[in-house]
Amino acid sequence: MSSEFEIIDRYFKKKMKQTALGVGDDAAIINIKKNREIVISSDMLVENVHFLKNTNPARLGWKSLAVNLSDIAAMGAIPKWATLSISLPKINHDWLKEFSKGFFKCADQFGIDLIGGDTTKGPLTISITIMGDIKKNKSLLRSGAKINDDIWVTGQLGMASMGLASLQGTLRLAPSLKVKCIKALETPTPKVLIGSHISRYANSCIDISDGLIQDLKHVLKASSAGATLLLNEIPCDPFIHTSKKYQFVLNGGDDYELLFTAPKKHRLAIEKIAKKTKTATSIIGIITKNTSLKVIDQKGKSISFNSKGFDHFA
């Protein structure tokens, strides 16, 4: 048992819940309801670029899908369908079994059908296309931020990049914190539920994948606005404050939290949604008219910071 087709049947063909035609034909077919739109995004994960060699395959399966779900969450849409194109250096059944287990654990948790893909031989690479749906014209764009909007983020920032640094031996962490950070790095939770609920209240949204500063800058550029961030309000582990290693919070990648902006009048409504969806949310700053980005410490002093996040070609 070693052909491409046997691999697909054994590891990637599962029952579908919301798909007219799934894996097995030349293409898949999905039905769309009236007054809804399809939101589509792709993310590719390459060994030694996006994940370390010998990463646990079940965690890699989870993460491959989770990072894609995060993009759909950032649009305020509901993710439903995925395709998986995978290139494998060799057939390793133990690896494939674990990878598909992790992938479908995430798929089942978030109600995703795997409807197709491609399987080839080559360097370990995973490319996923995710599709979701949303009511027409309701998507949350990067370009919608308005002056005086609160800037909100979900979760805790910097955990994943601390996890990576500790695995790479450039950061020493207490054992319990290290476990938490590696978990954040390898099995991020996409903020799908809160994403689809805040679309009524938020003006703009992005998922933080390349660092808070860099991703906020995408919103500012698209919205022709600026921002002031309050360093002390950025949710992070206390270790960040004691060690003053703010670079993990400001520039660290792989957070997969949402950053969204919303008018002050919606604070209560957003807090209710946060509670209902059991998602930590914090206000970390404000959208300003001048197009610069400032970060202010607790004394109100503007701090200097590196404005670069992760960039493959930098």
**How far apart are alpha carbons 57 and 60 in whole angstroms?**
5
Contacting ligand ADP within 52-71 (CB under 6 A):
none
For residues 44 and 269, which CB has a smaller minimum distance to ligand ADP in the complex? 44
Task: Please say which residue, 6 or 311, places its beta carbon nearer to ligand ADP.
Answer: 6
State which residue, 27 or 174, has the beta carbon closest to ligand ADP. 27
Please tell me the count of residues contacting ligand ADP according to CB under 6 A.
13
Q: Nearer Cβ to Mg ion, position 121 or 276? A: 121
For residues 191 to 230, the per-residue mask of contacts with ligand ADP, x marking binding by CB under 6 A and - elsewhere, is: ----------------------------------------
Which residue, 14 or 267, is less far from ligand ADP as judged by CB?
14
Nearest to 223 by CA among 139, 143, 141, 140: 143
Question: Shortest gap between Cβ of 4 and Mg ion (angstroms)?
Answer: 8
Closest separation between CB of residue 23 and ligand ADP, Å? 4
**Segment holding 254, helix H or strand E:** none
* Residue closer to Mg ion, measured from CB, 117 or 188: 117
Question: Residues of 224-241 as b/e, b for ≥16 C-beta within 10 angstroms?
Answer: ebbbbbbbeebbbbebbe
Residues whose CB falls within 8 Å of the CB of residue 79, separated by 6 or more in sequence, listed in order: 68, 69, 72, 73, 110, 111, 112, 130, 131, 132, 192
Say which DSSP state 51 is in: B
Single-letter residue type at 267: R
Tell which one of 60, 77, 86, 229 touches ligand ADP (CB under 6 A): 86
DSSP 21: B
Select 23 or 240, whichever has its Cβ closest to ligand ADP.
23
**Smallest gap from residue 226 Cβ to Mg ion (A):** 47
Residue 188 burial (CB < 10 Å; 0-12/13-18/19+)?
Answer: buried
Residue of 6, 9, 108, 118 interacting with Mg ion (CB under 5 A): 118
Measured from the CB of residue 73, what is the shortest distance to ligand ADP in angstroms?
A: 22
The Cα–Cα gap between 291 and 224 comes to 7
C-alpha to C-alpha distance for 139 and 72, rounded to whole angstroms: 10
Q: Given candidates 57, 76, 79, 117, which one binds ligand ADP under the rule CB under 6 A? A: 117
| Euclidean distance between CA atoms 267 and 148, whole angstroms | 13
Asked if 165 and 248 count as a contact pair (C-beta separation under 8 A), the reply is yes
- The reply on whether position 122 binds ligand ADP by CB under 6 A is no
Q: x-or-dash pattern for ligand ADP, window 7-46, by CB under 6 A?
A: -x---x----------xxxx--------------------
| Residue at 5: amino acid letter | F
Q: Give the angle 144-150-154 at the CA atoms, nearest 5°.
A: 90
- How many residues line the site for Mg ion (CB under 5 A)? 1
Report the interface residues with Mg ion, using CB under 5 A: 118
Report the interface residues with ligand ADP, using CB under 6 A: 8, 12, 23-26, 84, 86, 114, 116-119
